[in-house]
Structure 1
């Protein structure tokens, strides 16, 4: 029973550790990498109070060394999905009725576990399974997930504290109920933080969850699940299953208690799920909440007044950190003719300096793409560019999957602003540049706004403030996260709530109060202290 209005610890962004030579965090992480690489794990599903092992064992391989086996996970079937749904529904009443401060305490403890005893483990798992460098793993698996957990607790209290006005003789109250049913969380390979937040955010608000991660992220997902369990998330509140998408969908999207979808992944898959939910709408007890962050074809547009060196640095970092496998990665750039030669020289120089190899070697800036399917798709785009008279390979263009799925950072100059790699999402280390007439900036802005169906992130580089203002206005609906003189990646929880619209999703801004509001259903309560005893109104006299 709540006996006070409690103030939670004020969240601040988790400091990013440097992992510089000689630092204690570097030594700890290297030791953890060595330890985890040397052992083979047997990863179960987590359903209710059980760890489920099956006879279908699938390998977990590092993308940068795909012959090495980190362990195996147990693939489930339709029966396991049904079991997970039943576990979620069985745990719901007790979890929903738990006082909010106890739910808050669990996830605040999870944040502290990640910041302390699990930091090296979750970072090492992300480096090994998703081929992230130490820095990319740190800002993702450690810092961003910690921030999600701590800031979400603060946002939850703000939501609960918002109350309506009351007239004399009346007390109006607003309570936020969990959704009626269970939430399905589908999480991607590229961010361990997203994989943790998508089930945790609805759970924090009193919902129970069935969580299906991408197969290529299971190795680090199970570390996150270890943290949740140690933090005290009760059995059945978050159920972690490994099944093929259609197998899960056949059970979940036909269940009357399906109450919400929290999704990050491809636009095509999200649209398909939305159609399925719409088709099945008569089967549900309520209208399911559908929250999705999907694809991007993120842009950088430079004005003739831009700083060429700063622009080139933003392009290299924005396009090639984590091998371009970020929803926000810079994928297309529009550079004015007066700056192109200078920017080109900087890009070629920087691309030559990028070191590529295993993330276990801390000197590398760049490592492998996630799997063979992604490798083949990206290589196909590069091959098409090599063969086209409308494209020129400015840097990179080589690839090799003999040991790991390595594709060089590749820069393409397109002669046509509608060239394939300017338009289609690639999700890899390929940046395509279109050089426009420096005196036709407004035309270039029109190209940016009308070339892609996506609207996730984008940035403007300029020193001329009129140009910055014009771009901000012209590109109002082109990006949900818009950057001025910065790369279009690296959103920080509590500072830049993340999400886009158009083909990029529902723009419900993960890491903000806006997202948490989707996982509650408000109830208004009006209490009249002295109710009337005569039906007649004064005007009737």
Structure 2
């Protein structure tokens, strides 16, 4: 019966060739202004709902939920006494079962028509942007320390955009066919999912990134073993439940929070491991890459695994003397301190022309001093600009860096420099000026609200230092009105940033508008939010069908 249904489904898929909706547009970001009372009320209701109870989160393997495992908790980083989720952690046996479930589900999922796969992600996008919009916001706000606007951009708009635009890009990819066929020949290309399974390792800082890391390969017919960040389990599980409601078959995505090293080692030991989809630290990505390379050299895998990753950044703003000072200042504050600087694209080094520095410094310090990091709950802090950093390790790293400023003759504290973890992990937005353009503060990624400034006299001298100061190449910006300066910076810093901005902040890539990713030690630059990344999760097969019959093995040139 099952075989008949599968064949029937394949047959139905061939009765028509469907077009995806032509007018896929970016989800509108709700401003949550003062007059948007209904949205505020709905958000508060969801915040109360999560705050009134501790959400129990299971492993989900092949559609089965497992609660009876060792339990860990996720806390509100702005109030670390508040436990918002209690989640089961995977054992080695669970990891093996998740791999088996992925392999089993693959048999049907790869034969599911693209239209059916696409419909699931279309529906999930609509559920996220309507029925579950405020629930996704609340889970991300409480669990990851975002303000409402940052959560709206991330957990609703960008997440929905990934799902919808990926469908559009996949359709375009499938339509990329050989432009020529000889007489009597039909050439075509089939975009097969990878033969094994995909391992997705997702970060805490963007709910949308987690969705894309599992969603992009799944849309292309792959099955996924997913290890979510322990600091984003609540929002990730909420999103996963929405996918299941949208019709995602059991076992296509398997949700296994737990010890990162154990899970990774278990996954990489399996011969059917076929791809890594990763966002996280450069060090961890390098370690995993080395393990994959070693296993590949030993012949452990059936295939050469695909490695797709986005890691860190030490992103820059370069402000020329021809720039609009006020605009550059405000853009820098947003770039450096939105979401507490916990974006891989966050502005963390700033180069300002000496001629405009006095006025730039005055405005920069004045506005930064206005910002007070505050917790968000259902009853307070809803209109804040900044919240807490994500966890104690982050807080300790930033505190240590700030404490070192006073004893460093090459650094001068301009504002901030305060940190308090008594209730939550709060760090004041901090700006420090350095006299050394290659100081460690200009090269080290702190992943927090710490901005270092260097005031330059000569643009020609500073450009090579901007390019060589760090191992990263993620994002960067130039602020100038002089087109010759813009062109010069754009060309001389060609490889310094995978996403380059002119008179705009270094953060905020939008799906469908600016495909995102960097190279050097910032990742593989496969450009999330574009068709490029989808091509990494398929393995094309060229098919040639001949309609002519030959009557001799010899060619004309073989006859005397």
> Which TM-score applies when normalising by structure 1?
0.99
**Counterpart for residue 230 of structure 1:** 245
> Does 2:323 match 1:302?
no
**Counterpart for residue 338 of structure 1:** 355
Query: Structure 1 residue 515: deviation in Å?
Result: 0.3
> Does 2:278 match 1:258?
no
**Counterpart for residue 458 of structure 1:** 476
Give the aligned CA root-mean-square deviation in angstroms: 0.9
> Does 2:324 match 1:324?
no
Query: Structure 1 residue 22: deviation in Å?
Result: 3.2
| Number of residue pairs aligned between Structure 1 and Structure 2 | 539
Unmatched 5+ stretches in structure 1: none
Work out which of the residue numbers 163, 178, 182 in structure 2 matches 1:167: 182
**Counterpart for residue 27 of structure 2:** 14
Work out which of the residue numbers 28, 42, 50 in structure 2 matches 1:36: 50
CA contact (8 A) 1:54 1:75 kept: no
**Counterpart for residue 141 of structure 2:** 127
Query: Structure 1 residue 18: deviation in Å?
Result: 1.2
Query: Structure 1 residue 477: deviation in Å?
Result: 0.3
> Does 2:523 match 1:508?
no
Runs of 4+ with deviation above 6 angstroms = none
Query: Structure 1 residue 301: deviation in Å?
Result: 0.7
Report the secondary structure of 1:66's partner residue.
strand
Work out which of the residue numbers 135, 151, 154 in structure 2 matches 1:140: 154
CA contact (8 A) 1:54 1:76 kept: no
Question: Equivalents in 2 of 1:182, 1:55: separation in Å?
Answer: 24
CA contact (8 A) 2:147 2:383 kept: no
Work out which of the residue numbers 445, 452, 465 in structure 2 matches 1:432: 452
Q: Which region of structure 1 is more displaced relative to structure 2, 68-77 or 424-433?
A: 68-77
Question: Equivalents in 2 of 1:168, 1:55: separation in Å?
Answer: 63
> Does 2:378 match 1:378?
no
Question: Equivalents in 2 of 1:500, 1:532: separation in Å?
Answer: 52
CA contact (8 A) 1:355 1:363 kept: no
Query: Structure 1 residue 343: deviation in Å?
Result: 0.7
CA contact (8 A) 1:14 1:143 kept: yes
Unmatched 5+ stretches in structure 2: 1-12
Query: Structure 1 residue 210: deviation in Å?
Result: 0.2
Matches within 5 A, 1:37-436: 37-164=51-178, 165-281=180-296, 282-360=299-377, 361-436=381-456
Question: Equivalents in 1 of 2:533, 2:118: separation in Å?
Answer: 16
Report the secondary structure of 1:92's partner residue.
helix
Query: Structure 1 residue 531: deviation in Å?
Result: 2.5
Q: Which region of structure 1 is more displaced relative to structure 2, 200-209 or 346-355?
A: 346-355
> Which TM-score applies when normalising by structure 2?
0.95
> Does 2:15 match 1:3?
yes
**Counterpart for residue 6 of structure 2:** none
Work out which of the residue numbers 447, 451, 463 in structure 2 matches 1:445: 463
Question: Equivalents in 2 of 1:313, 1:510: separation in Å?
Answer: 27
